[in-house]
Chains A and B, each alone.
Chain A
Amino acid sequence: MANDPAAHAQDATAFEFPFGLELPLPSMLGIQITKFMVLELLVAVAMIAVFVSLAKRIEGGKVARGRFWNLWEALLVYVRNDVVFSVMGKKNGAIYLPFIWMIFFLILFCNLFGLLPWMGSPTGSIATTLVLAIVTFLVATISGMRKFGAIGFWLGLVPHIDLPIYLMVILKPMLFVIEVASYMIKFGVLAIRLWANMFGGHVVLAVFVGFIAAAADSAFYVWGSVTIISIAVSLAISLLELLVAFLQAYIFAFLATLFINMTLHQH
């Protein structure tokens, strides 16, 4: 265990297992393979395993049997009805539903992998969350541009105001800059919110577990009580993290839906 708790939550060049076992990751074609890259691959495999199988099970409107499949179906239906359709309506919602599902479940799976022993959350890296935010930005912006025209969309970001022409000349460009900046920042915040939550949660966990290592050289009763308290607190925080894993996936997906919907309905 590193002295720096932040290091625990970060990407690494090896998987660490108990008893000092390590699985170092190679460097291929000049690119260092990292823990998060492997985890993302595992996430992809897990998602394909779950959702392709579920798709076969409910094909043609059949009902899924068993708790495991109903769990995923309940989440799918929740995102569909209470996030996408309730914001966008059924017509537009049907177009963007697969994308929002993808965002929600990719984030959820990445978050949940962080709760498995010796694994980690790829969403704890700003690189991953930034990519998700950029993809969302592109989907929203391209949707808006398809609807209002490539230039019309950007001009439409500025709300319509009735002003004398001389004020308009000064104000409109300023408003344009502000609106475009705020439009971009919205998506940037998506990335930062998710990253900060996942990274922060893992750091807190690492801090509490780190107390045990810090007290290792103390008297037995000190180390013992620190250990008990640390494990109890980490357990409680892990439960909180489980909630945060779902919550952040929901927030990202919900805001992505709102932002896409906003580009489809300008002022």
Chain B
Amino acid sequence: MTLKRIIPVVFVLLLCAISVGSVLAASEHAAEHVAGDPLAYDGPKRDLALWSLVIFLILFGILYKFAFAPIAKALDSREQGIAENIAAAERANSDAKELLTQYQKKLDDADGEVRQIVDDAKADGRRMADGIVEQARKAADSQQKRAIAEIDAATTNALQELAEKSASLAAGLAGRIIRKEIDVNAHRDLVNEAISNLKN
């Protein structure tokens, strides 16, 4: 054994010896004046001191092994468990928040999309309606134009027919007038006849 290892051992032994010695000395000379009660024990306290030391050491040994060390371990592991739980909860919380923002974003996107779709649909509808109205107007226009043209044509035909008829009537009338040198009454009758013919 080296000197370095002997010195502490000697010191500790010396300390223990001094300690025990001082207890013994103190207890031997403990106050002996209190003895009013015959049962009060004021004899050497050395025995109680040694008994206390023995109890302390044995009790500490037992409690250290079966109570304090396991309790310290249990408290540590509980503390660690709580810390882990808190960390896990924080992680879960941040995950949830992230998920929430993702969903919020998706929801916002979907909202925008829906609005776009509705807007598009509205625009389509409006365009379609405009187209239909335009088409209808065009159709109406062309129909009107056709009707006008037909009316014009019919008018022209009628006029032509009238002209032809009146020409032929006039020619016939003229022929008859020329052929028959008749009186005024006959003349009037002829004209009336021609007019009624024309009316028919």
Contact = CB atoms under 8 A, between A and B. Distances in A.
Interface stretch (B63-71, B109-117, B186-194): B63-71
B66 A35 contact: no
Interface in A1-55: 2-4, 6-8, 10-14, 16, 22, 31-32, 34-37, 40-41, 43-44, 47-48, 51-52, 54-55
A205 B27 CA distance: 25
Contacts of A101: 63, 68, 71
Contact of B34 (A10, A52, A59, A131): A10
A51 B37 CA distance: 37
A144 B39 CA distance: 44
Contacts of A128: 48-49, 52
Contacts of B45: 11, 125-127
Contacts of B7: 150-151
A121 B130 CA distance: 106
B103 interface: no
B52 A127 contact: yes
Contacts of A145: 8, 11-12
B163 interface: no
B87 interface: no
A54 B71 contact: yes
Q: For the side of the interface on A, what is the size category?
A: 35 or more
Nearest to A151: B7
A146 interface: yes
A128 B22 CA distance: 13
B113 to A, nearest CB: 51
A51 B7 CA distance: 38
Interface stretch (B54-62, B120-128, B133-141, B165-173): B54-62
Nearest to B48: A127
Contacts of A151: 7
Contacts, number: 180
A47 B58 CA distance: 12
Given A41-B55, A131-B56, A61 B74 contact: yes
Nearest to A14: B39
A40 B75 contact: no
A61 B186 CA distance: 145
A80 interface: yes
A94 interface: yes
A55 B40 contact: no
A97 B63 CA distance: 12
Contacts of B35: 7
Contacts of A130: 23, 26-27, 49
Interface stretch (A132-140, A162-170, A171-179, A257-265): A132-140
Q: Which of B16, B71, B81 has the most CB of A within 10 A?
A: B71
Nearest to B40: A7
B100 interface: no
Interface of A: 2-4, 6-8, 10-14, 16, 22, 31-32, 34-37, 40-41, 43-44, 47-48, 51-52, 54-56, 58-63, 76-77, 80, 94, 97-99, 101-102, 106, 122, 125-128, 130-132, 134-135, 137-138, 141-142, 145-146, 149-151
17 contacts: A3-B36, A37-B48, A43-B55, A48-B59, A52-B66, A55-B74, A61-B78, A80-B72, A80-B75, A97-B68, A98-B72, A101-B71, A127-B27, A127-B30, A127-B52, A131-B53, A150-B8
Please name the 3 residue pairs, one residue from A and one from B, whose CB atoms are nearest each other, closest first: A4-B36, A2-B37, A51-B67
Given A51-B63, A54-B67, A131-B53, 10 more contacts: A12-B39, A32-B41, A34-B41, A99-B60, A101-B63, A101-B68, A122-B52, A131-B52, A138-B19, A142-B12
